[in-house]
Chains A and B, each alone.
Chain A
């Protein structure tokens, strides 16, 4: 009864989960674990082979990821780093391709092989930096935006290359007219989508989505529908589905509940992206890996070192600090999933042999794995480099450019703006405390004198964004038993004191057991107030 696709998906999920759990000790980033899981299932044991439906899920993952990127970044945020992205991204392509060609030549490869290797090195991955930066909540940071900008610029280049390649495959297609036509269609379509995104963002989407309301189930389905619409249009114009999804996200970015939306799409995206990486591992053609390990390794080292150094240099030249340069370089110093596609195409068209594919696969695996570690721990590594005075030697030329976001810490988070929440906020603010008020309804957050944040405190991602780990205190005034228990639990786990509303006295013990530091017994307080009222009425005279 189990279809092969279901069985393979099931195996992938199990292998992925097991691998992640096993590699936690070595602090391995989850996506690396997924690649290894895929390597185990595919090349190593042959338990799983590439399936159409699995690939569709993986593709959906990339599309959703770019959708989320679009949701988080408005075009305005990207415009700021546009120039940087073009210069740095363009430079990276040249350096990587040139250097790769030289090394390939030194290893004695043929002309066609050198070309393909150079082309494969030119592009850096979209999904690795975007996924990890999103995980670290750094997509809108300076280096995050630059990395995304570079990614988008290179995506455009990919379209050009793909158009060329389809022309190469088709004998008539190689004519200049055909190629121009293909490009024209693609870019024309992109402009159309862009216009559509901007117009709908202004006129169509706000009334529709605001009517739907926050925290309604339909919100997810509606946004998925919208994303899908753009993807379909993109494919009709021979564009990649990612560009369509990205623009769909951009058009939804200025809605009031875009953060809520992001948090809803996130788990779905995470699941599909995990499948993507596992299937990437499965599809790695490591057949000739044993023989090709030396060139593969050398090229990988070259990519990593050259790109890291290059980005440090170019970002400093453009006026940023070396920290930004380091973080950006760490994010993009790998080759792309598209590089694998390119090499596979080359093999299928007979231009190169399988060994080259293995070389590209090795470089992909190594550079993706290493940069995954680099991205995840980039701050710590930077500090280490700073200590050893390897970095930190160059003055920032343009301080206005290199602006970093503030982290809030030592603040008090108050969840739930009902009568109790509002009173607590007012009184804390009067004492001079830094307060962040949280609620799921925009109306409840109106008219408050402190910082506000819209969203559902049940989600740990939201709590992280609210800076819970660095908060002084978390207060919940909610009258929802399960959310309160969860907040108590998170408080204990993060080492943050919590004061939780036990809206019925019987709930107090459970809350304390779940880890609450203090419980607010509102009914008991009310009873005492009633006693006071009785006293004023002369009952106890």
Chain B
């Protein structure tokens, strides 16, 4: 009882400290455990239980959070970047470990542990910075998911190495069986569970029963419990089950995760000088090698330098799963406690440093150091303005965009996005020359195919603005996401009317103060909502009547907009462009 009380109290302190510094609690929980062990207050009899229960629950919940849908649109990039990054760092890590004198198997563990980045830390940071849904955010999440999967799959492989080829084959067979079961669950059982609309408590019990079944099977098939728990989570991950479960699992996870990480800290106590040295070297490897590798890969995949650097710096730490990996190795007797301590230290240090390493300030500083920034902002040739009669008049003589001279007298759309198509068409119809700027490679490709003049680049970057002729535009509209970028924009552009799309009223205030015209799109959205609501209310306010029709219309309208933009991108001559009323 007292042992449990000590753990709880230590967790409470760790959470308090992490709140004070506004950081993820994991490193502090580990340190709390280390401190407890140092002062000999750690309840050792609870260690084994705490580790196993904690491990199982943490991995189970990680499995449920594995959601490919979060990666939307960036799947190819994520797979490309993730696999290469994982391979490169793993090899580099293994190499350095061998140089440091570790045995081969141990070095393999070290390498793999270094290759994984922390889902918990990164997702938390992305949520805080509201960048989770940006293209680079999605790509990073995709990489994380891939890494999670790779680590989980390699755990059993490594632990089975001493059993030789037959042992590995058997282990692999066991894993494949469990993976198959997990996918079968995802396909058939999870949707049915969601449809059952169970009360929260039986739902939780059922989910835990699934966990128990997977873990029991894992033990039977000689597969590590970690993999079984993770696959159980994966089995329950499809929407909407995951969302429904999350509320129930969150406190269970918090509780067990806290106990788990404290216990990890309690395992090692105080590290010796060689441990510290090795930890420093390995941490340096992670922080200094991961960013350039990831940045180079993502830039190659089409992201701007800044987005690529941000992604790289974000991924520069080791993961809670790395700890799981090394723990399993230690429990299987394949690696020594010192190695575990080393990696634990690496994880704590890199996790703590991540918010600073990936901060905007650091990114700016590194950008200046990077040679040959890409992409060099280049405009693609744009189409000839339409020669269709508009209200009986013919538009002014069409201007053919020249490659070399920056445009002038044009309408500049910064951050065009897929939703900017109707606006583009209306501007064309009025005879204007339009130049778009966007950093999302998918969007840029779409626009290029539609023969729109587009500059691929970072809209707050002066070079990009120059290439887009910002100083000599007729009018500029900015739908850039980040307030800081808009601020820089307002400082740079002085003589051209600048409309800045903002959501919150505070943002509208400073835009106005800086000389721009805020377009408060939350206001616009509220107006449109109220228009729909009037209809809804008149229709009796039921989902069947007024609801279904607008939904249908919305769906069609949505498809229509996409269809029309698709059509106009294909440049079909027989279709009139959808212009705005």
Contact = CB atoms under 8 A, between A and B. Distances in A.
B554 A10 contact: no
B519 to A, nearest CB: 5
A418 B209 CA distance: 39
A525 B205 contact: no
Interface stretch (A294-302, A337-345, A515-523): A515-523
Interface stretch (B244-252, B360-368, B400-408): B244-252
Contacts of A481: 70, 133
Contacts of B411: 534, 539
B521 to A, nearest CB: 3
A427 interface: yes
Given A221-B12, A267-B247, A512-B555, A528 B524 contact: yes
B524 A461 contact: no
B530 interface: yes
A540 B247 contact: no
A24 to B, nearest CB: 8
Interface stretch (A104-112, A321-329, A496-504): A496-504
A100 interface: no
Given A458-B246, A505-B418, A473 B541 contact: yes
A424 B529 contact: yes
B426 A13 contact: no
A420 interface: yes
Contact of A534 (B475, B501, B529, B542): B475
Contact of A539 (B25, B70, B246, B430): B430
Contacts of A266: 200, 251
Contact of A217 (B5, B25, B249): B25
B487 interface: no
B243 A485 contact: yes
B25 A218 contact: yes
A514 B240 contact: yes
B402 to A, nearest CB: 23
A497 B542 contact: yes
Interface stretch (A67-75, A195-203, A268-276, A356-364): A268-276
Contact of B503 (A267, A271, A420, A512): A420
B296 to A, nearest CB: 28
Contacts of A225: 8-9, 11-12
Given A217-B25, A530-B423, A222 B12 contact: yes
Contact of A270 (B69, B201, B504): B201
Interface centre among A473, A489, A523 (most CB of B within 10 A): A523
B510 interface: no
B419 A505 contact: yes
Contacts of B517: 533
Nearest to A459: B247
Interface string A250-284: 00000000000001111110110010000000000
B204 A271 contact: yes
B193 to A, nearest CB: 9
A391 interface: no
A15 to B, nearest CB: 9
B526 A514 contact: no
B571 interface: no
Contact of A526 (B212, B248, B501, B550): B501
Contacts of A501: 525
Interface in A1-56: 1-2, 10, 13-14, 16-18, 20-21, 24, 30
Contacts of B219: 1-2
Contacts of B551: 512, 516-518
Contact of A419 (B246, B475, B522): B522
A482 interface: yes
Nearest to A508: B558
Interface centre among A489, A504, A516, A528 (most CB of B within 10 A): A528
B251 A135 contact: no
Contacts of A493: 197
Given A13-B212, A527-B423, A531-B580, A522 B206 contact: no
A252 to B, nearest CB: 14
Contact of A485 (B240, B255, B497): B240
Interface centre among A229, A420, A520 (most CB of B within 10 A): A420
B554 A519 contact: yes
Contacts of B460: none
Contact of A427 (B4, B200, B526, B532): B526
A424 B527 CA distance: 8
A232 interface: yes
Interface string B6-17: 001101100110
A460 interface: yes
A505 B503 CA distance: 15
A263 B249 CA distance: 12
A318 interface: no
A526 B528 CA distance: 10
A499 B8 contact: no
A497 B504 contact: no
A450 interface: no
Nearest to B202: A20
A297 B430 CA distance: 88
B417 A523 contact: yes
Nearest to A274: B205
A267 B197 CA distance: 16
A204 interface: no
Interface string A207-244: 00001110011101110110011001000000000000
B209 A14 contact: yes
A21 B547 contact: no
A516 B555 CA distance: 11
A505 to B, nearest CB: 5
B565 to A, nearest CB: 10
Interface centre among B427, B477, B521 (most CB of A within 10 A): B521
Given A419-B504, A493-B197, A531-B423, A10 B247 contact: no
B213 interface: yes
Interface in A102-149: 135
Contacts of A224: 8, 255
Given A264-B250, A267-B251, A522-B524, A30 B206 contact: no
Contacts of A456: 247
Contact of B519 (A267, A423, A524, A533): A533
B475 A537 contact: yes
Contacts of B525: 420, 501, 520-522, 525-526
Nearest to A428: B533
A478 to B, nearest CB: 12
Contacts of B67: 482
Contacts of B499: 530, 533-534
A83 to B, nearest CB: 34
B19 interface: yes
Nearest to A15: B209
Interface centre among B202, B258, B505 (most CB of A within 10 A): B202
B422 A527 contact: yes
A222 B432 CA distance: 62
B474 A539 contact: yes
B120 to A, nearest CB: 11
A35 to B, nearest CB: 14
B244 to A, nearest CB: 7
A418 B503 contact: yes
Contact of B255 (A17, A220, A423): A220
A530 to B, nearest CB: 5
Nearest to B506: A419
Contacts of B243: 458, 482-483, 485-486, 489
25 contacts: A14-B212, A30-B202, A135-B199, A135-B201, A213-B19, A218-B25, A221-B11, A221-B255, A225-B12, A265-B251, A266-B251, A271-B201, A271-B204, A271-B205, A271-B208, A274-B205, A486-B244, A496-B543, A505-B561, A517-B547, A521-B525, A521-B558, A528-B524, A530-B501, A539-B427
Given A419-B523, A420-B526, A509-B555, 5 more contacts: A460-B244, A485-B239, A508-B558, A509-B558, A534-B477
The 3 residue pairs across chains A and B that have the minimum distance between CB atoms: A218-B15, A526-B521, A17-B209
